[in-house]
Every structure is written in structure tokens, then in C-alpha cells.
Amino acid sequence: IKKINLMGICMGGTFSVIYTALHPDKIKNLITTVTPTNFDTDKGLLHIWTRQIDAKKLVRAYGNMPGDILNLGFLLLNPARLMIDKYVGFLENIDNKTFVENFIRMEKWIFDSPDVPGETFRQFIEDCYQKNLLIQNKMVVGGKKVDLRKIKVPLLNIYGKFDHLVPPEACELLTKKIGSKDTEDICLDTGHIGIYVSSKCQRELVPKIAQWLKERDKTVRKTAKKKKTASKAKAK
């Protein structure tokens, strides 16, 4: 396989964007979901908090940044909703087997957070949240400059209108900053987690992604066929 379709979620989406900019020859299509790339916004408490974080001290204290500590920080962004209301809703639906099973699956997924390597955490906080270098094409990773203009593959950029972690303002600029002409923004009426658990989003999002990929595969095949035909004609 020479090229792959790459899809990233949240912080993983940011890393996917960086990887694609550094290795554009390895990516066929790029899909980002609730992915922050523009960190110069006051929309969302996370963006305000992280400007004051001393990432170096945290790394010195913990080494790798514990996933449990990160999860606690996310919960504190909206404690009433995430630490009270959600579980009240669970109790109100305790007799609904399907609801309970889905709730437990999501709880396991949300809190199954691996530790983040210390240096990765430090650079992510300092270069992205505090200096906003990525969207300005000034970020350097592994000695290489991350230039978003080098991303010339198709991009599908999906985010939530009511996302309290990664607001639309943090996502919507990406399609304007990359070098590809084949870009699409999709803003769904949901939040950060709702983009995956909402039944409406599940019905709409997955088919949309599949269709988007199919359309680009068709375009690639047509282009390849035209080149092959032109090559044969030239040979004659």
C-alpha cells in the first residue's frame, strides 16, 4: 500500500494534520473530526486555561502526562454536566438495556485514556495552545517545519457546533490554510462526544464519510484511466 486514508480525532486529528504536512506522499485522503488547529480563540474554557499551564513543570513532575489527570481536567471544564447531569440521566434510564449498554461502552471509551509522552504534551501545549504555531506554518517537529500548504490531498473537516472542548473557531480555519482545493467543512449540531454517540450523527456521519471516500476513489480511478489511455495513444 503506497498511500492510506488517514482519519484523526481531536488531539489525534491535530497529529494527523501534522503528519500529512510532513509526509504528504503517504496520505491519500485526510479526515479530521473535532480537530483543533487554530488555538487563538477564547471560545471554550480549555483554550483559556491552557494559556496559563506550565507544561514543563507538569512534565518534570509526572514524566509522561497521566491520562487520568487529563480526564479530570476535561471533567472540570463542565462539572455539572459531566459529573452530575450525565449520571442522573443514566439512573433515569437504568431499566433501558440498550441505553445502559451504550452508556457503559462510552464510559469505557472516554476514560480509557493512555498517558501522553511528556515531550509530546509539552510541545503540544506550548507550540499549539500557547503560541498557535501550527496554523501559522511556524511549528517545527523533529527538526522539520510543518507547512500546512503542503497538504494537497482531499480533506474532510468535521466538527461540532456546541463542542465545549474544541469549538468551531478552532477547527474551521484549517480548510482555508492547506494547499488542497478539494476541501469540505461539516459542522454538526452536536458537542464533542455527541458527534460519536448521538444517534442522528451516527446515521449521518458514517455514511457521509464513506460516500466522501468513494467519490474520491472514483476520481482517482478516472484520472488513472485517462492517463493510461493517453499513454497508449502517445505510444501509437
Burial class of residue 82 (count of CB atoms within 10 Å of its CB; 0-12, 13-18, 19+): middle
How far, in Å, CA of 157 to CA of 59, rounded? 31
| pLDDT of res. 199 | 77
Is residue 171 part of the annotated active site? The answer reads no
Cβ count near 144 (within 10 Å): 12
Q: Do the domain assignments include residue 183?
A: yes
| pLDDT of res. 227 | 59
Is the distance from CB of 116 to CB of 143 less than 8 angstroms?
no
Q: Do the domain assignments include residue 196?
A: yes
How far, in Å, CA of 13 to CA of 193, rounded? 15
Catalytic member of 10, 128, 187, 201: 10
How far, in Å, CA of 73 to CA of 116, rounded? 14
Q: Domain containing 26: what range?
A: 4-47+129-235
pLDDT in tens, the chain (236 residues): 789 999 999 999 999 999 999 999 999 999 999 999 999 999 888 999 999 999 999 999 999 999 999 999 999 988 998 899 999 999 999 999 999 998 999 899 889 999 999 999 999 999 999 999 999 999 999 999 999 999 999 999 999 999 999 999 999 999 999 999 999 999 999 988 888 877 777 788 889 999 999 999 887 666 655 555 556 556 55
Strands 140-141 vs 27-33: parallel, antiparallel or unpaired: unpaired
Taking the model in full, what pTM does it have? 0.87
The residue behind cell 466522501 is: 212
Q: Do the domain assignments include residue 85?
A: no
Q: Do the domain assignments include residue 207?
A: yes
Q: Do the domain assignments include residue 83?
A: no
Q: Using alpha carbons only, what angle is made at residue 98 by residues 93 and 101, rounded to the nearest 5 degrees?
A: 90
Question: The CATH number of the domain where 180 resides is what?
Answer: 3.40.50.1820
Q: Do the domain assignments include residue 17?
A: yes
* DSSP reduced 3-state for 225: helix
Rounded to 10 degrees, what is the CA torsion of 76, 66, 36, 33?
-100
How far, in Å, CA of 35 to CA of 7, rounded? 10
Cβ count near 136 (within 10 Å): 13
Tell me, what amino acid is at 29?
A: N
Q: Do the domain assignments include residue 121?
A: no
Strand stretches in 88-234, DSSP E = 140-141, 144-145, 155-160, 183-188
Q: Do the domain assignments include residue 217?
A: yes
Number of domains in the chain: 1
How far, in Å, CA of 13 to CA of 56, rounded? 23
| pLDDT of res. 202 | 78
